[in-house]
Structure 1
Amino acid sequence: MMFEHTLFLSVYLFSIGLYGLITSRNMVKALMCIELILNSVNINLITFSNMIDNRQLKGDILSIFVIAIAAAEAAIGLAIVSSIYRNRKSTSINQSNFLNN
């Protein structure tokens, strides 16, 4: 019973993140949607790890690595977004044409 609930939560978070990533025009919102997608992947990793073998922590350890990568991605992404905002005064994805300059 709990297995279906966690998978439903993961699919729900993934679909919200994917929809937000497709429809977002703001870079910060796109980064937040990528974080939602990575969190849904972490939920799946831990759920399937507990279902297959409860004593081994392979899925839990892999999810910790995904969390660390997501934290680094968020820090670097926000640094890039703040640099773009400082230069262009906008965080819109449509207005960030870097190859024209």
Structure 2
Amino acid sequence: MMTSSYSIAEAKNRLPELVREVENKGAVQITRRGIPVVVVLPIHEYEQTKKNKFDFWEAYLAFRRRLDEEGIDLDPDEIFADVRDRSAPVEPRW
């Protein structure tokens, strides 16, 4: 949860205070012309975001491993039962 927001100029002028605030209270947002552009995080939060980062392939493989371990109970007939259009076919006009 972000507790504070500073402009770039304020952050530059109050950097030591900003660092203490991040250490004690958590993330701080920095803005440019009132628009958020950067978030300063405590190191433990930053490390956590790096630790949990998967690229697509790693995430896919993890999903498949979990699926293989837990199994899945899907009935294809039930899933695709209402997929086909049952209305009368339309004759093509040549």
What TM-score bracket applies, with the shorter chain setting the length?
A: under 0.3
Q: Greater helix share, 1 or 2?
A: 1
- Bigger Rg, which one: 2
TM-score, normalization: structure 1? Answer: 0.25
Larger relative contact order (CA 8 Å, sep ≥ 6): 1
Q: Greater strand share, 1 or 2?
A: 2
